[in-house]
Amino acid sequence: MVETIEIVSNNKLCIICLEELDDNIMKACDTCDINCHISCLYKWYIKNKDELCPICLKKTNIHNIVKNKLFENIEELNNEELNEELNDRDNIDIINNNIQQLYDNEEDYRKDKIASYILFAILILVLIMVLFMSL
């Protein structure tokens, strides 16, 4: 005996995140007749680089996500996250540059210290030579 499972079209969970649907939903596919959170659907589209249904993977004809206000808010949030990440990278670059400058300054300090020791040793040798010559 073969059992069939009927998918109920008035789903209560987002098929992508499996959390309860709220007011911020959108129809994901005409064929499957499912709804998803707009943010989940947007992330799904971005991940797949195409507007594919999360169930049947058929290219959807639903293009209203781009015009949706919530999509714009999500896009702004993503841009803010990207800007924060870029700022973090800039900060890391600045820190790396500062560390390199400190290292270079330390290297210069060491070289100057060695040069001072050499000059001091030469001065001592000259003084010793002067003392032996005067004897």
Q: Which two tokens stand for residue 19?
A: 């959390």
Look up the pTM and report it.
0.40
pLDDT average, residue stretch 88-97: 78
Model pLDDT, residue 94: 81
pLDDT of residue 71: 54
The CA distance from 61 to 50, in Å, is: 11
E strands present in 13-89: 25-29, 34-37
The two structure tokens encoding residue 28: 């994901």
How many other β-carbons are positioned within 10 Å of the β-carbon of residue 98?
10
* Predicted pLDDT at 118: 93
Give 104-121 pLDDT, tens digit per residue.
888 888 888 898 999 999
Give 27's contacts (C-beta < 8 A, 6+ positions apart).
Answer: 33, 34, 35, 62
Contact (Cβ atoms closer than 8 angstroms) between residue 26 and residue 16:
no
